[in-house]
Structure 1
Amino acid sequence: MSGKYIISREDWSLHRKGEIDRQRHQEKVREAIKKNLADVVSEESIIMSDGNKVIKVPIRSIEEYHFRYDRGKMKHAGQGDGKSKAGDVLGSDPQQGGGKGKGGAGEEPGVDYYEADITIDELAELIFEDLGLPNLEQKKKPELVSESVEFKDVRKMGISSNIDRKRTIYEAIKRNALQGKKGLSTITRDDLRYKTWDVTFKYESSAVVLAMMDTSGSMGPFEKYIARSFFFWMVRFLRTKYQNVQIIFLAHHVEARETTEEEFFAKGASGGTRCSSVYKLALEIIENRFPPQDYNIYAFHFSDGDNLASDNENCVKLVNELLKVCNLVGYGEIEGPYYYTSTLRSAYKKINNPRFVSITIKDKKDVYPALKKFFSVAPEQVRN
């Protein structure tokens, strides 16, 4: 076996100029999205996308190339008379009113923004980059989640499709050198080297996440949208990064019940609020279906905090019970237009446990920081 190789020094990047520009633009778009994740995460067009694979994301920190015209509409060609010096002021843009007031109604258009097409998966990759399940522990019954083939060794025998060309050429050159010959002249059967593989198995501890949402009458459109936005990204995050996680959906008003995923994100309710009902149900589900010795358990509850005052102490007691069997319990309180000063969050100030995390959301922009806080882990724990 022998062969010849031709090395071309022609600069082929000129032929790929369009592709290079496109890749550069895409990178700038990704950077701009990353800087605006707090705004992007809560975009209604994404949350209500019904699983569409490609979505439009508004980006206000990136501009397309465009001509910039003289606002003063003066007649000039752009060159000087040759007598100007460094630092000379050649002209200034007259200030014009942008709206009603002293300057009158403005004539100039507003600031445009760029709409980028991006897939949900690409956006999810940016959002979930540093997230992971906190306090994840090795349980008694890890389950097989995948198996893969890894090439780990090189041998003299094998099938032709697995020839290691680089190692084969190296062996031929070494043999020729030992015989006093230069370079690569022939390849013999003894020079052939083949890549061999081993099957590797990946095991993952089982985990269950309890998604609990207040659907009572006090949860208005804003509160429900915020809660569903958080759970939308939480569900996608868990299914993107973990293969062995079960998600249980619980909705409550005065009473709590387990729902389907579709009902959880689509149906509302009315009536009063008794948050202890959802904690009781969560504890019953854990006791009957998910032994803590076999599962990593996480519970996340979102509410507007408007709970029966007589029920608050019971909620504190039940959350402490959950903390005995959960890796983490998270509570998110949404401050809507009808915010109450006496809330469930005030009662939870009595809980002193590092595995209890409480956050407040006042605006759509707070959804992303909430994800970061609930799923914050050490860098070495983040799953790749």
Structure 2
Amino acid sequence: MSENQNRNFVVSQENWSLHRKGYQDQQRHMDKVKDAIKNNLPDLISEESIIMSNGREVIKIPIRSLDEYKIRYNYGKSKHVGQGQGDSKVGDVVARDGKPGDQAAGQGKKAGDQPGNDYYEAEVSIEEVQNVLFKELELPNLEKKEMAEITVEKIEFNDIRKKGLMGNIDKKRTILTAIKRNAIKGKAEISPIHNDDLRFKTWDEVIKPETRAVVLAMMDTSGSMGNFEKFCARSFFFWMTRFLRTKYQSVEIEFIAHHTEAKVVTEEEFFTKGESGGTICSSAYSKALELVDQKYNPVRYNIYPVHFSDGENFSTDNEKCLKLVNELMDISSMFGYGEVNPNNRYSSLMSTFKKIDNPKFRHYIIRQKKDVYEALKSFFQKQESIV
């Protein structure tokens, strides 16, 4: 090739924005999953397979398919061609699909003559469900208590040093140090990075006092509690227990089962063991007060009694229940009473509790499985905490 011969070069530049398509589709899918979980929460948290599997189940939820942009032909009209004026812009409506309501996809029991939306089932873990659910919940009226005896060791990264473990290297500060050093020499570049440029995060173990709380979970296990009543009560306490252990480090849970007598039981017994006999709800409240007196000083603990029953209580016991509930509220941050009543029958216990005029008292009636979700929100509704 002669020196005078013209040399031709081709400069190409790849559009790297195209490589983001996969990531964008993945994000769209994850957003769809989150929306599907949120829209199906009442059904998901009352799913029997989840409760029986102790939270290790993977479940499926319907998710609408993601549509790609494409031209769709209107086959309802006769074939024709058209010509534009050349002044159209993004966002202009180029056509409308006939009159609204002329044609539609089938819904419910009626048949339609148009295609519907495509749905598919996506598998989600219990952790994904609870992440959405627990964002809506918190312990109400949680206060910092005086004379807190519990302290928690926490690690805080609070210093930067020139020596340390490579696993704790601070990449941002290391690069900035290298750029500054190279800039002094006239080249503000990252490379080369010297050992003197390395910066490492270091930590200290700090002792912090923790606000403590105890939840007194009380459940009616008498003969009047049928399969539906027991399932709804256990579903509520299942999610309540996971919520407390996920969001709070220093919350204790005491499990109290009762019929005519109340006793403290293990968590496994609480969720699996059935009983029979009559119902005296005041026995559970007396046991709760006994536990508080023995182990949980209200000066040091936020106390949350939560009781579930079917409302079938021994009639002469209702006034005693009212008295004990008022005593519990005097030392508690919140008292919750849930009643499983699918047939809307008269409940003497709920009628008695309606006399209570105290903002600490919260109650909810469960009539169907979906109501477990609403009961959780009613008792643990997110609000401004008192600190």
Normalising by the smaller structure, the TM-score range is 0.7 to 0.9
Out of 231, 248, 254, the residue aligned to residue 254 of structure 2 is 248
Residues 1:170 and 1:221: Cα distance change in structure 2 (over 3 Å): closer
Structure 2 partner of 1:32: 36
Displacement of 1:331: 0.4
Q: 2:345 matched to 1:340?
A: yes
- In structure 1, the partner of 2:64 is 63
Is the Cα–Cα contact under 8 Å of residues 145 and 244 in structure 1 kept in the other structure? Answer: no
Structure 1 312/114 Cα, relative in aligned 2: closer, same or farther at 3 Å?
Answer: farther
- Is this contact kept in 1: 2:104–2:113, CA < 8 A? no
**1:367 CA displacement:** 1.0
The answer to whether residue 138 in structure 2 is matched with residue 132 in structure 1 is: yes
C-alpha distance 22-354 of structure 1, shift in aligned 2 (>3 A)? same
Preserved CA contact (<8 Å) 1:98 1:106 = no
In structure 2, the residue matched to 1:319 is 325
Distance in 2 (alpha carbons) for counterparts of 1:342 and 1:47: 27
Within the candidate set 128, 144, 154, 2:151 is matched to: 144
Q: Distance in 1 between matches of 2:159 and 2:107?
A: 73
1:314-360 C-alpha deviation (Å, 9 max, x unpaired): 000010111122221100111123x4324211101222221111111
Report how far residue 48 of structure 1 moved: 2.0
The answer to whether residue 40 in structure 2 is matched with residue 41 in structure 1 is: no
For 1:25 and 1:57, the matched residues in 2 are separated by 15
Q: 1:363-378 alignment to 2 at 5 Å?
A: 363-378=368-383
RMSD: 3.8
- Aligned partner of 1:270 in structure 2 is 276
Match of 2:88 in 1: none
Q: Find the aligned partners of 1:63 and 1:34 in 2 and give their Cα distance.
A: 14
Contact 2:164 2:202 in 1 (8 A): no
The answer to whether the 8 Å contact 1:142/1:205 transfers is no
Q: Among all aligned residue pairs of Structure 1 and Structure 2, give the percentage whose two residues are the same amino acid.
A: 53
CA distance, structure 2, for counterparts of residue 226 and residue 42 of structure 1: 8
Alignment of 1:180-329 (within 5 A): 181-184=186-189, 193-329=199-335
Deviations 1:192-221 (Å, cap 9, x if unpaired)? Answer: 655443333443222211111111122111
CA contact (8 A) 2:340 2:365 kept: yes
Contact 1:56 1:115 in 2 (8 A): no
Task: State the Cα distance separating 1:172 from its structure 2 match.
Answer: 5.1
C-alpha spacing 1:256/1:169, structure 2 compared with 1 (3 Å): closer
SS of the counterpart of 2:299? coil
SS in 2 for 1:364: coil
Q: Which runs of 5+ in 1 are unaligned?
A: 1-8, 67-75
Distance in 1 separating the partners of 2:118 and 2:188: 63
What TM-score do the two structures reach when normalised by structure 1?
0.79
Aligned length: 356
Scaled by the length of structure 2, the TM-score of the pair is 0.78
How far apart, in 1, do the equivalents of 2:202 and 2:105 lie? 73
Q: Deviations over 1:261-298 (max 9, x none)?
A: 11111122222211111111111111112222222211
Letter in 1 for 2:30: Q
* CA separation of 1:117 and 1:285: change in aligned 2, threshold 3 A: same
What is the aligned partner in structure 2 of residue 354 from structure 1? 359
Alpha-carbon distance in structure 2 between the residues aligned to 1:113 and 1:88: 23
Residues 165 and 106 of structure 1: is their aligned pair in 2 closer, same or farther, counting only changes over 3 Å? closer
Change (3 A) 1:170 1:374: same
